[in-house]
Amino acid sequence: MFLPQLMARAGQGEKLVVLTCYDASFARLLVDNGVDALLVGDSLGMTVQGHATTLPVSLDDMVYHTSAVARGASGRAFVIADLPFGAYQTGPARAFESSARLMAAGANMVKLEGGSIMAETVAFLSDRGIPVCAHLGLLPQSVNATGYRAQARDEVAAARLLADAEALQAAGAGMLVLESIPSTLAGQVTARLAIPTIGIGAGRDCAGQVLVLNDLLGLTEKPPRFSKNFMAGADSLAGAVRAYAEAVRGGAFPGPEHSFRCD
């Protein structure tokens, strides 16, 4: 699957179903049960490697897991790969080198964190044929500066996030992840942009939703408030994934209990 196909679905009003994925077996299972896009997230640093944050994840780690997921997906789902910490922040040339490795491994798009400061890098990659997913709100790679808490909950921060979103779209971003921001703000961003927004802790008005697979399967010791254990009541892994896909497309997930409000 390529970006135009995914954007066509979003343009027709279909909610996009996204999950993190780190290996070929789960890639096949997710695709078989209604997931549109697989995010090879640097969250693997926590879910697979056992680190406390995503920061220790290397580009080699991401290339390895991206290639495994791409083989499992076999072209039947859109594969997004995170650029890990340190692999793009020093400038467009470094970001291109890192992105080229992920694309060669099978990614259809790369994802990077940050606001307007990343616009030059987004434009550089987009102009060279590399689709980019931007990421605003809670930025896990900036956890030492912000902690794990909801972002943009006051008027000044909300206005800055809106400006960042527009700048990233103008630079060529093809998609935008919104993490842990007020649902009303996520709705405003979604309405203002032409590109799909993918929410995680950002309310139901986004064009799609993403969860960390381990949270969905009830494997996380202290899951974030925006997640839901879809294994509860399910008779199989496949059943849990199908339930998530159906809940997203039907608008049942996320609910108000999975969302944040302004201060």
Q: Report the pLDDT averaged over residues 79-89.
A: 98
pLDDT tens digit sequence for 226-258: 999 999 999 999 999 999 999 999 999 999 999
Element (H, E) at 157: helix 155-171
Q: Grade residue 259 by pLDDT with cuts at 50, 70 and 90.
A: confident
Residue 10's closest CA among 176, 242, 252, 202? 176
Q: Are 212 and 221 in contact (CB under 8 A)?
A: no
Predicted confidence (pLDDT) per residue in 180-234, tens digit: 999 999 999 999 999 999 999 999 999 999 999 999 999 999 899 999 999 999 9
Q: Which helix (H) or strand (E) segment is 119 a member of?
A: helix 119-127
For the residues 79-87, what does the mean pLDDT come to?
98
Residue 151 located in a structural domain: yes
Burial environment of residue 76 by CB neighbours within 10 A (0 to 12, 13 to 18, 19 or more): middle
> What's the CATH number where 165 sits?
3.20.20.60
Question: Is position 226 within any domain?
Answer: yes
Tell me, yes or no, whether 263 lies in a domain: no
Token pair recorded at residue 94? 């470094």
Is 113 one of the catalytic residues? no
Whether the predicted pLDDT of 1 surpasses 90: no
Q: Is 180 among the domain residues?
A: yes
Report which DSSP code applies to 260: B
Candidates 179, 221, 246, 257; catalytic one? 179
Does residue 5 surpass a pLDDT of 80? yes
pLDDT band at 263 (very low <50, low <70, confident <90, very high): low
Which residue, chain included where needed, has tokens 């909300």? Answer: 158
Cα-based distances in Å from 110 to 102, 162, 196, 260: 7, 21, 15, 27
The Cα angle at residue 139 between residues 190 and 130, in degrees rounded to 5: 70
- In terms of residue numbers, what domain contains 140? 3-258
Q: How far apart are CA 231 and CA 244, in angstroms?
A: 10
Q: What is the pLDDT of residues 6-57, one digit of tens each?
A: 889 999 999 999 999 999 999 999 999 999 999 999 999 999 999 999 999 9
pLDDT in tens, 90-134: 999 999 999 999 999 999 999 999 999 999 999 999 999 999 999
At position 218, the amino acid (one-letter code) is G
Q: 1-5, 147-151, 241-245, 253-257: lowest mean pLDDT where?
A: 1-5
| Other residues' Cβ atoms within 10 Å of the Cβ of residue 1 | 16
What are the percentages of helix, strand and coil residues in the chain, rounded to 5?
A: 45, 15, 40
First to last CA, the chain: 40
Count: domains in the chain: 1
Residue 84 lies inside a defined structural domain of this protein: yes
Q: How far apart are CA 30 and CA 126, in angstroms?
A: 28
pLDDT of residue 2: 85
> In this model, does residue 261 exceed pLDDT 90?
no
